[in-house]
Chains A and B, each alone.
Chain A
Amino acid sequence: MVRTIVLRAPGTNCDVETAFAFQQAGAEVALVHVNQLLRREQRLVDYQIMVIPGGFTYGDDIAAGKVLANELKLKLGEDVMRFFQAGGLILGICNGFQVLVKAGFLPEPNGGSPRLTLTNNDSGRFECRWVHLVVNESSPCVFTKGVERLYIPVAHGEGKVVADPEILPELNVVARYTDERGDTSAGYPHNPNGSVDNIAGICDKSGRIFALMPHPERHIRGTQHPQWTRLGAKQYGDGFKIFQNAVRWAKGL
């Protein structure tokens, strides 16, 4: 059985549906509060997949994901690295993306001084809307193998990827915002936040640490699609493949 840990912290709010997506994909899932890791009641090494779900951890005070990132880096940084080095998969969705970047686990773990971040959307607003993504076929990301396109929703106020121009060429971009035809130059609202290079998701070079601003767990069933009453409901939503891929990959561990 693939064991998945969905990490909770004060303000995490997508934990239940993220856990559900992993369960549907065949994983055994534990919802674990960050305090349980700090108190050593739970150990990361007992799991194969670690997920930081969406939410507003610690209110997103200071900046989105910042306080949890600080805590993870300073209090649990070694545990996370040990988990990763043992071959574990790490997934950060929305707030989890912000946490992974601000804790320094992405663009590369131990990548030196931070050169990429997420900041306020260009619109200046939190926005909830469905977006089209094109997956980069040459990405090493293990979560997106065999996935070409994704139609899933974003819901965030600080999702704009800003990066030092020098690191852009070496960045492992997994998914980019496009319009419904796959055009990456479509601009707002197709790129909902103004991310550089339309970046919606990135991974490290091993492909095992993956962070995505839009929410794949919100489209695992056909009736979650905003137009299923027009187009008919498929059994699975686009996002489900990401969870299946993760579980399948972790089975091989």
Chain B
Amino acid sequence: MQRIEVRLKRHLPDARGEGLVKDIHDLGITSVRSVRVVDIYWLDADLTSEELDLIGRSLLADPVTQEYVIKQSSRDEDETSPSYHTVEVAYNPGVTDPVEDSVLKAIRDLGVEWVRAVKTSKRYLIQGEIDQPQLELICSRLLVNPIIQHVVVGEQFEFPQNPEYRFKREEIDILATDGAELARQFGFSQEEFQAIRDYFRRQGRNPTDVELETLAQTWSEHCVHKTFKGRLTLDGKTMDNLLKSTVMRATKELNKPWCLSVFVDNAGVIDFDGRWALCFKVETHNHPSAVEPYGGAATGIGGVIRDPLGTGLGAKPILNTDVFCFGPPDLPYERLPQGVLHPRRMFKGVRAGVADYANRLGIPTLNGAVLFDERYVANPLVYCGTLGLLPKEVAQRGKQQAGDLVVLVGGRTGRDGIHGVTFASEQLTEESTTTSSSSVQIGNPIVEKKLIDILLQARDRRLYSRITDCGGGGLSSAVGEMAAETGVRVDLEKVPLKYAGLSYTEIWISESQERMVLAVPPEHIEELLELFASEDVEATVIGEFTDDRRLKLFYQGNLVCDLEMEFLHEGRPQLVREAVWQPPQHAEPDFAPPADLGQPLLKILGSWNVCSKEWVIRQYDHEVQGGSVLKPLVGAHNDGPGDAAIVQPILDSAMGVIVANGINPKYADIDPYWMAASAIDEALRQIIAVGGSLNKVALLDNFCWGSTSRPEMLGALVRAAQACYDMSVVYGTPFISGKDSLNNEFEYEGKTISIPHTLLISAIGVMEDVSRAVSMDLKQAGDLIYLVGTTQNELGGSEYFRTCGFIGNRVPKVNPQRAKQLMDNLSAATGKRLVRACHDLSDGGLGVAIAEMAFAGGLGANVQLKSVPLGEPIARDDFILFSESNSRFLVEVAPENKDEFERTMQGTSFALIGEVTDSGILEIYGIKGRKIVALPINELKEAWQRPLRW
């Protein structure tokens, strides 16, 4: 074992260390003065000191900023003083070290051939007077996640030894036992287990371990969405299949010719411009992110990027959108359940994991949101979405022939993520963080980038007949689904492994990242293998598609799995459940209206949900690929909160794609139906606000719920799904794909904490001419400000009530017929270039929207509440200012366009409520004409920016 240490030269500041000092101070330990980080490279080799010197000097250490040391013990004199504490942290055995491959390659480029393996660790030199418990706190809270890392004790570092695997066919006796224990172990319900036992009884034999694992994965909630496909009854009304009766039914009834491929492939596909198509998918990676935020979130984005890549014959990923839900970052540690990471650490880890992966892949992250609620503390939600672009003629899912070869491409297979999908479908407990380590996958973005680059070349040469991604469920799910209509045989020993020792079952169910499966006609295989080799991407023939409709797996010639496809895919007994729905009753808020509404406005602007997310946004590359037209941060200082994002996917075409998200879990505490309706309205509002139209807009649904085995939880799900249908058909915006993640619950001290019912609606809209885009920042003093839409007394679940300590009951509702008319009119107005700025009203209502528009534009505004169009009498200024009624917009119009704008808006509820000023002050007058807000825009902006200025 040889080691080379690299550290910054002493006189240079250590940016990584300074970040840690901040985090340590956040823990309440203020005596730490500095942290310096030393990178350690462990080489499994027997090199001469000249060779080690060469590696240190010309490769590992930067000659200007760093120095390197080659020695066993490496503590400098002054670091042995009592105020220095050192901690060395390394990856656990079996965890992929993401830099190993490139370091090995670079060492070979130097002409040094004899290095067998490389691992890295980090040593932290912490300077300051801290005691042992404080040091342990720093380690456990900041430096080490035991799921993937450990503290290196002493000087020894072990390279894991992986014993060879010796084949033994494992059978599981299910015929002789009652199976309760087995069913639990594999995550089957009693009915499912019974069906399996009946099947094998007919076969006259017991299943092998890999057969049961395959069934467990194929039938898991994660893979098959059994709740959504279940037979559910609510209020005496039975739906045979929730998905088909709601979300998919809307798409079918709308029957849009531009929907090219919906609900059948890894992502939904719509037409873009007649030549190109767009595909879009959003997924969650919640449970892994809860236990290892960085790695879990990185593999979340890595996985969803492979969805477009595995759609049709493969799409190029062109945009990412991310929505995160966490506990409040200022949660006191004493309220943190045992075994759960603090929301701040989760937030930072998830943000970094997604950014490091997406940035490396060169996919712009142009849109997203971050929400906070204490119920997300143990169950954060990590939604990642990717938009893809593909030629229209390859938009349909491919079809393989018997005789086509099964080719596994991309990364190698290890123990990563074994049982990931069953883990994802289960409830988290206090022990989850210690028992689920093998479910956490480690991503390597460069492997995926190489894979994308080469796959798109192979696609354009039509070298394969079908493609799918290897995600949750691994080969089992990818190959099993692909071969459902044909049959397949796979020789598992042919799968390239990261290290020895994997059993045939582990190979089959591993969820190692960065892999895709292709069906390749034999006449193309040589060209395909050569192409992949030319850019150093592994491609391996592991089997062949057959025509016997059986799944046959072999290991070294031994048959280890022989299942009928029909049983695997159709043999699962349908889930039958009762759902109930009882509207909750919350205390009706009872407080006097404050005279000055400036203070509540500042408070809402500074709330976690509303405040600026610039800290997150800037750490994502939102410019790469050169297509951004409307960026996430807009306005005079590039720091205002843009609504939807617009990207121009084909650089020499004026057509654009608008991407938006809607999410309102807070309304679900009152009624999940209106929560879902609000989310759809919000996503569509954003598309309209930036100059889009409803003409060609497609939606995705993403349900994250608690345990639907409880009837009331299921009732809430059914109501939300019904709203999806009701809204979608009226707006004329079909769903093209979706996903669900159920069982987002956490058991703690005998209590079950369930997340709020959370539905993310993601929308894409096609825009004919990006030069018609509108941003939300006020543009010109003297312009007119219109409020479009009707304001109701709807503050239930609002930010205003939340800051006053209430939930309320009057949840914002949606009238989709009226809303569509209004959106169509406003879209006509932006199409005629009559709109200078437009912002939709959401969290914090009119008050927040006008403040954001003003400080984003660096301009003041005067607004009269008495002019606001009301749908019912509202006597309180605070209710008008902060109501969160849906389907509303603020619009800036130049005085010369007044008449034309008003003509265009005929037939909708709108009113002139104020004007833009150059005073730099936001002035709002109440219904009686009294000044209720008068604040400089700088003060408003500061309140909004302060919380997340990390």
Residue of A nearest to B363 (CB): A13
Contact of A233 among B103, B622, B771 (CB under 8 A): B771
On whether the beta carbons of A67 and B106 are closer than 8 Å, the reply is: yes
B300 to chain A, nearest CB (A): 19
CA distance in complex: A224, B18 (Å): 34
Tell me, yes or no, whether A35 is within 8 Å of chain B by CB: yes
A129 to chain B, nearest CB (A): 6
Tell me, yes or no, whether A229 is within 8 Å of chain B by CB: yes
Q: Interface SS of chain A: helix, strand, loop or mixed? A: mixed
Tell me, yes or no, whether B24 is within 8 Å of chain A by CB: no
Tell me, yes or no, whether A127 is within 8 Å of chain B by CB: yes
CA distance in complex: A114, B625 (Å): 32
CA distance in complex: A113, B449 (Å): 33
Tell me, yes or no, whether A184 is within 8 Å of chain B by CB: no
Tell me, yes or no, whether A115 is within 8 Å of chain B by CB: yes
CA distance in complex: A60, B617 (Å): 21
Identify which of B98, B617, B634, B651 gathers the most chain A CB atoms within 10 Å of its CB: B651
Interface string of A44-67 (1 = CB under 8 A from B): 000000000011101111110011
CA distance in complex: A115, B625 (Å): 33
Contact of B12 among A60, A124, A155, A162 (CB under 8 A): A162
Given contacts A10-B446, A33-B534, A62-B103, contact A227 B636 (CB under 8 A): yes
CA distance in complex: A227, B103 (Å): 42
B164 to chain A, nearest CB (A): 30
Task: Give the contacts of A1-58 with B (CB-CB under 8 A).
Answer: 8, 10-14, 16-17, 20-21, 33, 35-36, 54-56, 58
Tell me, yes or no, whether A244 is within 8 Å of chain B by CB: no
Residues of chain B at interface, number, CB under 8 A = 67
Contacts of A56 in B (CB 8 A): 359-360, 445-446
Contacts of A67 in B (CB 8 A): 102-103, 105-106, 109
Given contacts A35-B534, A115-B64, A223-B648, contact A58 B626 (CB under 8 A): no
On whether the beta carbons of A58 and B446 are closer than 8 Å, the reply is: yes
Tell me, yes or no, whether A148 is within 8 Å of chain B by CB: no
Binding stretch for chain B, among A69-77, A84-92, A202-210: A69-77
CA distance in complex: A238, B293 (Å): 39
On whether the beta carbons of B770 and A223 are closer than 8 Å, the reply is: yes
Contacts of B629 in A (CB 8 A): 223-224
Tell me, yes or no, whether A119 is within 8 Å of chain B by CB: yes
Task: Give the contacts of B724-776 with A (CB-CB under 8 A).
Answer: 770-771, 773-775
Binding stretch for chain A, among B55-63, B339-347, B403-411, B699-707: B55-63
On whether the beta carbons of A16 and B58 are closer than 8 Å, the reply is: no
CA distance in complex: A9, B626 (Å): 19
On whether the beta carbons of B16 and A124 are closer than 8 Å, the reply is: yes
Tell me, yes or no, whether A230 is within 8 Å of chain B by CB: yes
Tell me, yes or no, whether B897 is within 8 Å of chain A by CB: no
Given contacts A128-B622, A230-B636, contact A61 B63 (CB under 8 A): no
Residue of B nearest to A239 (CB): B626
Given contacts A35-B536, A119-B62, contact A11 B625 (CB under 8 A): no
Tell me, yes or no, whether B361 is within 8 Å of chain A by CB: yes
Interface string of B94-127 (1 = CB under 8 A from A): 0000110011011001110000000000000000
A-B contact count (CB 8 A): 176
Contacts of B98 in A (CB 8 A): 59, 61
Chain A interface residue bracket vs B: 35 or more
B839 to chain A, nearest CB (A): 12
Tell me, yes or no, whether B355 is within 8 Å of chain A by CB: yes
B497 to chain A, nearest CB (A): 21
Tell me, yes or no, whether B190 is within 8 Å of chain A by CB: no
Contacts of B445 in A (CB 8 A): 11, 56, 59
Tell me, yes or no, whether B450 is within 8 Å of chain A by CB: yes
Tell me, yes or no, whether A79 is within 8 Å of chain B by CB: no
Contacts of B536 in A (CB 8 A): 10, 35
On whether the beta carbons of B15 and A122 are closer than 8 Å, the reply is: yes
On whether the beta carbons of A217 and B634 are closer than 8 Å, the reply is: no
Residue of B nearest to A223 (CB): B629
On whether the beta carbons of A59 and B446 are closer than 8 Å, the reply is: yes
On whether the beta carbons of B620 and A128 are closer than 8 Å, the reply is: yes
Given contacts A35-B536, A230-B636, contact A153 B623 (CB under 8 A): yes
Tell me, yes or no, whether B777 is within 8 Å of chain A by CB: yes
Tell me, yes or no, whether B779 is within 8 Å of chain A by CB: yes
On whether the beta carbons of A61 and B103 are closer than 8 Å, the reply is: yes
Contacts of A110 in B (CB 8 A): none
Contact of B99 among A35, A61, A121, A217 (CB under 8 A): A61
CA distance in complex: A95, B857 (Å): 34
Identify which of B111, B446, B648, B779 gathers the most chain A CB atoms within 10 Å of its CB: B446
Q: List 20 A-B contacts (CB under 8 A).
A: A8-B453, A10-B446, A10-B449, A10-B535, A11-B449, A14-B362, A35-B534, A58-B106, A59-B446, A67-B102, A67-B105, A70-B106, A114-B63, A117-B64, A120-B16, A162-B12, A163-B64, A229-B774, A229-B779, A230-B857
Binding site for B on A (CB under 8 A): 8, 10-14, 16-17, 20-21, 33, 35-36, 54-56, 58-63, 66-67, 70-71, 74-75, 102, 113-117, 119-130, 153, 155, 162-164, 215, 217-218, 220, 223-224, 226-227, 229-230, 233
Binding site for A on B (CB under 8 A): 12-13, 15-16, 18-19, 58-60, 62-65, 98-99, 102-103, 105-106, 109-111, 355, 359-362, 444-446, 449-450, 453, 534-536, 617-631, 633-636, 638, 648, 651-652, 770-771, 773-775, 777, 779, 857
- Supplied contacts A74-B109, A123-B15, 10 more A-B pairs, CB within 8 Å: A11-B360, A13-B449, A16-B626, A75-B109, A119-B62, A124-B19, A128-B617, A162-B65, A229-B634, A230-B636
